[in-house]
């Protein structure tokens, strides 16, 4: 076997189309109506409490049961303007669906995520009259930096309240992780951009693309020209392996690999025969599964602790294994192995817990690989925001409404300290910050 065999176009066009199609097809109308009838429409529903954005789940499901798709979508999008994407990517199995009272006497909760997707996508297919209209323009200007879930939610909320929003993003498209950071099969059909287009249709939002904080704009400059600033910067840094990492064609960051797949045809993305993904989160799963779908023969996810330490949900772990990915725990990277400038594998140290600390057992092993993807977490790059903003545990410190230590500056999403790095949580950050900014700029509280 040629270990330098890193190339694109391993599969047929039909295989690529099948492998990267929608992994979980939506409910059709009869399925949605039947599933909606399973809901008890609970008073003080635990599923709603478990939703970070507080969607009135019983109400939207009842409207689905009544065949009122627009009404269902209105209930969802009022609480979560990115309700369509969240329906696709949220870990509903550990949020609303885990809280469903159907779990008490049955093994299957109401399929809340699929019903939410059915309602929002059904509405977006035939939107008709807008659900939201802008309030009378206030004449206030707000800069939103970062067009991921937090920034988009903040921009939408501010625009609805009549403020003029300039939405800055370093990339060529809006969407942040929704556009660049999720597996292609989770958001097939260009859904991320369809949702962005709908969100912008409310008016009052002016996108400024390929515009990076710290390079093209500064926080001081934005504050000089705007009444307030919201930072939805995400996590731009990638954790290093902690070992020597030579410049090799087959050694790369998983986030870059996933972004390349989202912005290219799968047939154009190079993959190896033997792939090693280092990490245990959702990014690692997305990179590993997609490597397999691109035609890799052997894909192994390696994690330094046990299965119970994986940050990827049980659902994601099963998805990886179902797609032929091997999960190998209790191992940490020791060295990159290469011959003549060509990646040949990774050497690992076996690990164990001893006295509550992770230590090496003394054993070592090597996995052959012509592609190694680093997926051991991302970090917040504080430099572009400047030294004036107070940090906490390496991320921006805020109050519950996203207000930072710097006057007229709010923050939310993954760059904000104390979060869970969930899309739905980022949306809630943006939504709450928009209300806080609106109150600060107008003196009018919004209940």
Domain final position from 97, 125, 153: 125
| Mean pLDDT (whole number) for 230-256 | 94
pLDDT tens for each residue of 63-122: 999 999 999 999 999 999 999 999 999 999 889 999 999 998 888 999 999 999 999 999
pLDDT tens for each residue of 394-441: 999 999 999 999 999 999 999 999 988 899 999 999 999 999 999 999
**Do both 252 and 370 map to the same domain?**
yes
Q: Is residue 22 part of a domain?
A: no
**Do both 222 and 293 map to the same domain?**
no
Torsion angle defined by CA atoms of residues 118, 122, 124 and 126, in that order, rounded to the nearest 10 degrees: 180
**Do both 266 and 364 map to the same domain?**
yes
Percent of the chain with pLDDT over 70: 99
| Mean pLDDT (whole number) for 13-37 | 95
pLDDT tens for each residue of 161-187: 999 999 999 999 999 999 999 999 999
Domain extent, residue 102, equals 38-125
Reported confidence tier of residue 225, pLDDT bands at 50, 70, 90? very high
pLDDT score, position 446: 64
Q: Is residue 184 part of a domain?
A: yes
> What is d(CA 371, CA 278) in angstroms, rounded to the nearest whole number?
11
Domain final position from 125, 160, 178: 125
Burial 353-372 (b: 16+ CB within 10 A, else e): eeeeeeeeeeeeeebbbbbb
Strand partners, 251: 372
Reported confidence tier of residue 5, pLDDT bands at 50, 70, 90? confident
> What is d(CA 342, CA 79) in angstroms, rounded to the nearest whole number?
51
Q: How far is CA 124 from the centre of its chain?
A: 21
Checking if the pLDDT of 260 tops 90, the result is yes
Q: Concatenate the DSSP letters of all residues of 330-353 into one string.
A: SEEEEEEEEETTEEEEEEEEEEEE
In Å, the largest CA–CA distance within the chain is: 69
Which region, left, alpha or beta, applies to residue 336 given φ > 0 means left and ψ of -120 to 50 means alpha?
A: beta
Structure tokens at 159: 């625009």
pLDDT score, position 233: 96
**Do both 266 and 173 map to the same domain?**
no
**Do both 242 and 368 map to the same domain?**
yes
Q: Is residue 133 part of a domain?
A: no
Counted residue by residue, the chain has a size of: 447
Structure tokens at 180: 């660049």
pLDDT tens for each residue of 342-397: 999 999 999 999 999 999 999 999 999 999 999 999 999 999 998 899 999 999 99
**Do both 252 and 365 map to the same domain?**
yes
User: Which among 86, 93, 151 has a CA at the least distance from the CA of 119?
Assistant: 86
| Mean pLDDT (whole number) for 32-36 | 97
| Mean pLDDT (whole number) for 139-148 | 98
| Mean pLDDT (whole number) for 304-321 | 94
CB of 196 within 8 A of CB of 155? no
**Do both 215 and 345 map to the same domain?**
no
Checking if the pLDDT of 319 tops 90, the result is yes
Total domains, the chain: 3
**DSSP SS3 for 313:** coil
> What is d(CA 170, CA 146) in angstroms, rounded to the nearest whole number?
7
pLDDT score, position 4: 57
**Do both 387 and 398 map to the same domain?**
yes
pLDDT tens for each residue of 278-296: 999 999 999 999 999 999 9
**Do both 185 and 257 map to the same domain?**
no
Q: Is residue 86 part of a domain?
A: yes
Reported confidence tier of residue 2, pLDDT bands at 50, 70, 90? very low
**Do both 222 and 148 map to the same domain?**
yes
**Do both 158 and 221 map to the same domain?**
yes
Checking if the pLDDT of 229 tops 60, the result is yes
- C-alpha to C-alpha distances, 138 to 165, 222, 229, 438, nearest whole angstrom: 11, 19, 16, 10
Domain final position from 125, 156, 176: 125
Q: Is residue 155 part of a domain?
A: yes
Burial 328-349 (b: 16+ CB within 10 A, else e): ebbbbbbbbbbeeeebbbbebb
Helical (H) or strand (E) element with 289? helix 282-293
Please provide residue 364's backbone torsions phi and psi, each rounded to the nearest 5 degrees: -135, 155
User: Which among 89, 108, 102, 95 has a CA at the least distance from the CA of 47?
Assistant: 95
**Do both 109 and 150 map to the same domain?**
no
pLDDT score, position 395: 96
State the alpha helices, DSSP H only, in 51-148. Answer: 57-65, 69-79, 83-89, 96-99, 102-105, 112-125
> What is d(CA 386, CA 213) in angstroms, rounded to the nearest whole number?
10
**DSSP SS3 for 416:** strand
Q: Is residue 30 part of a domain?
A: no
Q: How many CB atoms lie within 10 A of CB 50?
A: 18
- Strand stretches in 192-257, DSSP E: 205-208, 228-231, 237-238, 251-253
pLDDT score, position 104: 86
Can you give the CATH number for the domain in which 50 is found? 1.10.1060.10
Q: Is residue 131 part of a domain?
A: no
For the chain, the average pLDDT equals: 95
pLDDT score, position 1: 42
Q: Is residue 79 part of a domain?
A: yes
Can you give the CATH number for the domain in which 372 is found? 3.50.50.60
The count of C-alpha atoms lying within 13 angstroms of the C-alpha of 149, restricted to the half-sphere facing its C-beta, is 28
């Amino acid at each position: 076997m040629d270990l330098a065999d890193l190339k694109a176009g391993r599969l047929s066009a039909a295989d690529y189309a099948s492998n990267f199609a929608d992994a979980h097809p939506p409910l059709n109308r009869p399925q949605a109506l039947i599933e909606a009838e399973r809901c008890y429409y609970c008073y003080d529903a635990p599923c709603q409490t478990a939703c970070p954005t507080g969607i009135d789940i019983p109400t939207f499901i009842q409207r689905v049961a009544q065949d009122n798709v627009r009404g269902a979508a209105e209930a969802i999008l009022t609480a979560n303007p990115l309700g369509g994407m969240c329906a696709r990517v949220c870990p509903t199995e550990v949020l609303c669906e885990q809280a469903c009272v159907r779990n008490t006497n049955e093994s299957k909760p109401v399929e809340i995520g699929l019903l939410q997707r059915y309602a929002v996508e059904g509405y977006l297919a035939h939107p008709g009259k807008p659900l939201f209209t802008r309030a009378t323009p206030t004449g206030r200007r707000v800069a939103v930096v970062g067009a991921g879930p937090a920034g988009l939610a903040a921009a939408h909320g501010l625009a609805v309240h009549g403020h003029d929003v300039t939405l800055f993003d370093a990339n060529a498209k809006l969407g942040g992780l929704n556009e660049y950071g999720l597996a292609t099969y989770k958001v097939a059909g260009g859904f991320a951009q369809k949702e962005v287009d709908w969100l912008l249709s409310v008016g009052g939002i002016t996108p400024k693309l390929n515009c990076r904080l710290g390079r093209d704009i500064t926080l001081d400059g934005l504050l000089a020209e705007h009444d307030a600033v919201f930072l939805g910067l995400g996590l731009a840094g990638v954790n290093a392996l902690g070992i020597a990492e030579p410049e090799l064609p087959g050694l790369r960051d998983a986030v870059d690999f996933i972004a390349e797949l989202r912005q290219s045809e799968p047939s154009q993305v190079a993959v190896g025969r033997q792939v090693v993904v280092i990490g245990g989160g959702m990014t690692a799963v997305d990179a590993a599964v997609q490597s397999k779908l691109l035609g890799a023969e052997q894909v192994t996810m390696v994690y330094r602790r046990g299965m119970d330490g994986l940050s990827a949900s049980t659902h994601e772990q099963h998805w990886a294994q179902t797609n032929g990915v091997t999960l190998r725990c209790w191992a940490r990277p020791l060295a990159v192995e290469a011959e003549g400038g060509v990646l040949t594998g990774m050497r690992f140290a076996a690990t164990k817990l001893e006295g509550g600390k992770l230590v090496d057992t003394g054993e070592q092993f090597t996995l052959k690989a012509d592609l190694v993807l680093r997926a051991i977490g991302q970090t917040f790059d504080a430099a572009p925001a400047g030294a004036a903003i107070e940090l906490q545990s390496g991320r921006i410190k805020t109050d519950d409404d996203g207000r930072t230590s710097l006057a007229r500056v709010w923050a939310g999403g993954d760059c904000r300290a104390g979060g869970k790095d969930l899309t739905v949580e980022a949306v809630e950050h943006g939504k709450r910050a928009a209300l806080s900014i609106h109150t600060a700029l107008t003196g009018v509280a919004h209940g």
